[in-house]
Amino acid sequence: MKIVAALGGNALSRRGEPITSQNLRKNVREAVEPLAGLALEHDLVLTHGNGPQVGLLALQNLAYEEIAAYPLDILGAETQGMLGYVVGQELMNAVRLKKEMATILTTTAVAGDDPAFDNPTKFVGPVYSEERANELAAEHGWTIAQDGEWWRRVVPSPEPLHIRQAATIRALSEMGLIVLCVGGGGVPVVADYEAGHLRGVEAVIDKDLASAVLAHDIEADLLLLLTDADAVYLDWGTPEQRAIERATPEALAEFGFAAGSMGPKVDAARRFVADGHGEAVIGSLSKLGEILAGTSGTRIVGSGDLRFYS
């Protein structure tokens, strides 16, 4: 089975935890351990987030005041290399070198006139108190927004149209390699086909939406959106909360999910399944075995009744 699995940002960086190389490697080692069996038994294509890391690089970049700051597309490419090395190495250790892998520097096509460029919404970088976030916004010209009880920088997040390296990723997967790609949603680029020209843009693409586009492009059988929640819930945080077991894209469209948490995952899963290529599951990385057994996670399918866990 061809599986695209998207690791949530919480798998690489814990909220409020210092973004050190030691913490990164510890978190990655814990995250990839459950994926080892999946990688050995199936054709695994793995994607991951990069929000905290790209934000940290942006902050470090600003320390060199005599040099113009590097744009987000270049910083995104840097994180693909950094995280590709750590995630790739730890995954290879987890499978005991029983399977080879390839890490692909990935670019994702977006539209140059996407309205997201005028409405920054994507969180990047560390969390701050409101006071500190306002200080940094004033100093660097950032846009900030509340993320739970904290505040963070937000940047444009345009719609991913297609993964430019999809054919290469598919070929490598079909050769039997584990493929690590679409880090942070891929580096956003605008293509001018008449001029035969590509240019990077200042933005960060949602990793889950980009993973859904990749799963479509390579005709995956299953899209796994792995997070710290064991399922998609209705009426979350209330006495009436219910965990969804199975749903169609049409059924999920009837409900509203928070843009800052489950919304992008539900949207990504709906899009992939609606295209008719396969199924999607949203669930907890720590319960991966149960997800594959069908006893955990929310499975999005092409047809059937809406079902809840009892």
Show the tokens assigned to 124: 């990047």
In this structure, are strands 162-163 and 107-109 parallel, antiparallel, or unpaired? antiparallel
Nearest to 211 by CA among 200, 226, 201, 195: 226
Domain ranges of the chain: 2-110+157-308, 121-155
d(CA 118, CA 58): 20
Note down pLDDT in tens along the chain; length 310 residues: 999 999 976 677 777 778 888 998 999 999 999 999 999 999 999 999 887 787 778 778 777 777 777 888 999 999 999 999 999 999 999 999 999 999 999 999 999 999 999 999 888 777 889 999 999 899 888 899 998 889 988 999 999 999 999 999 999 999 999 999 999 999 999 998 888 999 999 899 999 999 999 999 999 999 999 988 999 999 988 899 999 999 999 999 999 887 767 899 999 999 999 988 799 999 999 999 999 999 999 999 999 999 999 8
Distance CA 242, CA 277 (A): 28
CATH architecture of 2-110+157-308: 3-Layer(aba) Sandwich (3.40)
Annotated catalytic residues are 9-10, 122, 207, 265
Distance in angstroms (rounded) separating the CA atoms of residues 288 and 43? 16
- Alpha helix positions (H), 141-257: 166-174, 207-217, 249-252
The two three-digit tokens of residue 240, written as one number: 């009436």
Which single residue is written with the structure tokens 């059937």?
304
pTM score of the predicted model: 0.90
Burial 286-298 (b: 16+ CB within 10 A, else e): bbbeebbeeebbb
